[in-house]
């Protein structure tokens, strides 16, 4: 798989959950630029209108 940011090489990796220290989350990580992609990021990128409305609510 290629990185959506730099077209570099992406590997499967894992990170510790921020809400549950005993759980790890599967992610994809680019070896070139360090871009981290996980399920929540992918869902948010496919719903830009939701993200934009949340950003506007915080600033406004």
- Strands 10-16, 36-37: pairing is unpaired
What integer pLDDT is reported at residue 33 of this predicted model?
96
- Where are the chain's structural domains? 10-59
For residue 60, pLDDT beyond 60: no
Q: What is the DSSP letter of 19?
A: S
pLDDT digits (tens, 9 = 90+) for 14-39: 988 878 778 888 999 999 999 999 88
Q: Count the neighbouring beta carbons within 10 Å of the beta carbon of residue 19.
A: 7
Indicate the average pLDDT of the chain: 82
For residue 51, pLDDT beyond 60: no
What integer pLDDT is reported at residue 28 of this predicted model?
94
Distance, CA of 60 to CA of 58 (rounded, Å):
6
């Amino acid at each position: 798989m290629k990185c959506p940011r730099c077209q570099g090489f992406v590997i499967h990796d894992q990170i510790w959950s921020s809400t549950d220290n005993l759980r790890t989350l599967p992610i994809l990580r680019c070896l070139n630029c360090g871009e981290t992609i996980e399920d929540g990021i992918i869902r948010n990128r496919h719903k830009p209108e939701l993200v934009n409305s949340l950003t506007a609510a915080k600033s406004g």
